[in-house]
Amino acid sequence: MRRYLFFVNQPYSYSILRPLQEEIRRRGGEAAWFVAGCTAEPLGPDERHLKTVKEVMEFNADATFVPGDWVPYFFPGIKVEVFHGMARNKRGHNSEAESDHYRIRGWFDLYCTHAETDTAKFQQLAELHQHFAVAHTGWPKLDSLLQKQVQGPRARGQGELPVVFYASTFSRSVTSAPALVEKIAELASSGRWKFIVTLHPKMEASVVEQYRSLAGENLRFVESDEDLLPILPQADVMLCDTSSIMFEFMFLDRPVVTFRTKMPGPYLIDVDNVRDVEPALEKALKYPGELMDETRKLCDELHSFRDGHSSGRVLDAVDDFLVNKQAGLRRKPLNLLRKVKVRRRLRRELKKQSVSSQ
């Protein structure tokens, strides 16, 4: 029986890792959670929570799954990167290959990739560095969404208002939240639309409070630590900026409108002016054929699988690595300075978490 650890540093990690936990349990394995830097409140009574480094060491996992870009290197077992989003250029680099998605920091033994393009890129990096392996598995987070088979237009009753899911990332250079708060308030109060709104956990508190205060009959505010995947199918269209959640929504085969996105393309209706937001939403509700064709094409590029069984492939890849591939790799670089920084960061995150829970 294998043991697996989930390393959580952001609230969005829960929805990424829970499909893995479900598959681990189905196979008779054991899973535990270690949370550093964010709330552990989403954990249920049936989920094992390791609260100290000592408990982690005693649990002695075979593998630690990480949706982020760092992990305590001294934790037992191999470190497996499963990513917090799909491979897209969110920061406006000259090319996708230059984005942080492909930055090798020296922490991970196995990268579990989502599509042919990112797999090929990581394979090239693996041949260059020779201290990690790559497996084309798909993304566990999409399992529950794909298994429900809710793709296509949402069935709306007669007179039922269309629902917009609005999500925004936090970085000041790409977020649309401050610019759109008045427009979203206007549209929600107009009686023409309903909104579901969520914001990145790192969003400025004052902006979060502005949106939270809009909650009412036609606007539901969803806190950042809630699981968004069961909520996404409740919307007809998404309004976004440069948040990677737009790509998750596209797997519902539904349209996305963006405001000044850094990831433009024919798979989006992008607008630069606030006054153009509502006309763009109205256009999206008509499901333009060319737009939806491009959306499906992009989804094929981002994620190779539609069967909802990526978690199983990830666990199979871990088994294959432990049995067949681990011995053939070089030792990871010493990274002494980075290791010092990781220890400091872990202490800081645990201290912050302790203060917030008091």
Buried b (16+ CB within 10 A) or exposed e, 308-336: bbbbbbbbebbeebbeebeeebeebeeee
What is the structure's pLDDT at 227? 87
Torsion of CA 119, 124, 125, 131, to 10 degrees: 100
The 8-class DSSP code of residue 321 comes to I
What is the structure's pLDDT at 91? 46
Tens digits of per-residue pLDDT, 281-308? 999 999 999 999 999 999 999 999 999 9
Q: Is the CB of residue 216 less than 8 Å from the CB of residue 194?
A: no
Buried b (16+ CB within 10 A) or exposed e, 138-171: bbbbbbbbbeeeeeeeeeeeeeebbbbbbbbbbb
Tens digits of per-residue pLDDT, 23-77? 999 999 999 999 998 889 999 999 999 999 999 999 999 999 999 999 999 999 9
CA atoms within 13 A of residue 135's CA, in its CB half-sphere: 26
Residue 355, pLDDT > 70, answer no
- CB count, 10 Å around CB of 356? 10
Task: Walk across the sheet containing 49-50 and list its strands.
Answer: 49-50, 30-35, 3-8, 63-66, 78-81, 110-113, 133-136
Q: Is the CB of residue 227 less than 8 Å from the CB of residue 19?
A: no
Compute the distance between CA of residue 177 and CA of residue 184 in angstroms, rounded to an integer.
10
Q: Is the CB of residue 20 less than 8 Å from the CB of residue 314?
A: yes
Residue 340, pLDDT > 80, answer yes
Q: Can you name the residues that pair with 256 across neighbouring β-strands?
A: 238
Tens digits of per-residue pLDDT, 72-128? 999 999 999 999 988 764 544 445 555 688 999 999 999 999 999 999 999 999 999
**110-113 and 237-240 strand pairing:** unpaired
Q: What is the pTM of this model?
A: 0.90
CA atoms within 13 A of residue 115's CA, in its CB half-sphere: 16
Phi and psi at 191, nearest 5°, equal: 85, 10
The 8-class DSSP code of residue 135 comes to E
Identify which of 260, 258, 252 has the alpha carbon closest to the alpha carbon of residue 292: 252
Residue 173, pLDDT > 90, answer no
Cα first-last separation, the chain? 36
